[in-house]
Amino acid sequence: MVKAIFQVLLLLLLAAFCISGYFLTKHFLHLPFRSTNDSLHKKESPITLDFLIPSGTYIDEKMTIGEVIKVRSKQETTFYEKILKSLSTLIPGKYRYLADLVLFAFWSFLYMIFMRLFTFVGYGRSLRISLFLGACTYYFMPDFTVGKGDDFVFIGAALLIIILRTYIHRRKAKPGIRSCEGSTFNRSLQA
């Protein structure tokens, strides 16, 4: 009973933490950008909001931090991404997806080599871990397809393999304590 109450309290604490974080972030995003950034500069704060300012955009007094973030996220950030997007339109779709698959396989293969060389993990577990880590690396690295759909497909496939393996493993395992009928200790007790 005490264990159940403790778990309920932990869940309530987690819910309170998430709700307070949501409202704190909502309040922060509705603050005016210029006055907040100016007050941070006056206090000589080590962290200011200058990194959010998009190039070539005028920020008036009424613009909020959330609006500045929306403008910043809509702009292409790096020269590499601009070049890659212009080149990816020239390559046919099936070849772009094939290049994405090769890039994902490359990252997964590197993690597989690392896991097999520096750990004692078996091939099956090493393959599952390397697929997941390769998908995570692929998610954060630039690729040939515009958008995040292919990134989520690779992460979803790796997670699906892990979940299926866990399900199959638990399904094969018998519930309860396993008997040791063939052990020498059990035979000595029966004699």
Q: What is the pTM of this model?
A: 0.51
Mean pLDDT of 106-117: 91
Quote the mean pLDDT of the chain. 81
| pLDDT for residue 175 | 65
Same-domain pairing of 88 and 64: no
Q: What residues contact residue 155 under an 8 Å CB cut-off, 6+ apart?
A: 132, 135, 136, 139
d(CA 146, CA 40): 36
Same-domain pairing of 83 and 168: yes
Question: pLDDT over 90 for what percent of the chain?
Answer: 20
Domain assignment present for residue 94? The answer is: yes
Mean pLDDT of 152-169: 90
| pLDDT for residue 77 | 58
| pLDDT for residue 117 | 87
Domain assignment present for residue 184? The answer is: no
What DSSP line would sit under 50-118, residue for residue? GGGPPTT----TT-BHHHHHHHHHHS---HHHHHHHHHHTTS-HHHHHHHHHHHHHHHHHHHHHHHHHH
Mean pLDDT of 28-55: 83
Same-domain pairing of 98 and 146: yes
Write the CA distances from 21 to 12, 15, 29, 112, integer angstroms. 14, 10, 12, 38
d(CA 162, CA 159): 5
Locus of tokens 């950034």 = 37
> pLDDT grade, residue 121 (50/70/90)?
confident
| pLDDT for residue 174 | 64
| pLDDT for residue 75 | 64
- Tell me if 49 sits within 8 A of 37, measured CB to CB: yes
Q: Which of 21, 40, 74 is the last residue of a domain?
A: 74
> pLDDT grade, residue 176 (50/70/90)?
low
Mean pLDDT of 111-130: 89
Domain that holds residue 162: 79-172
**What is the domain count for the chain?**
2
59-110 per-position pLDDT tens digit: 778 888 888 888 877 765 566 667 777 777 787 878 888 888 998 999 999 9
Same-domain pairing of 157 and 91: yes
Same-domain pairing of 115 and 144: yes
Domain assignment present for residue 48? The answer is: yes
| pLDDT for residue 178 | 52
Selection from 86, 100, 79 nearest residue 149 by Cα: 100
Question: pLDDT over 70 for what percent of the chain?
Answer: 85
Same-domain pairing of 25 and 92: no
Same-domain pairing of 88 and 30: no
Q: Which of 49, 74, 99 is the last residue of a domain?
A: 74
Same-domain pairing of 150 and 100: yes
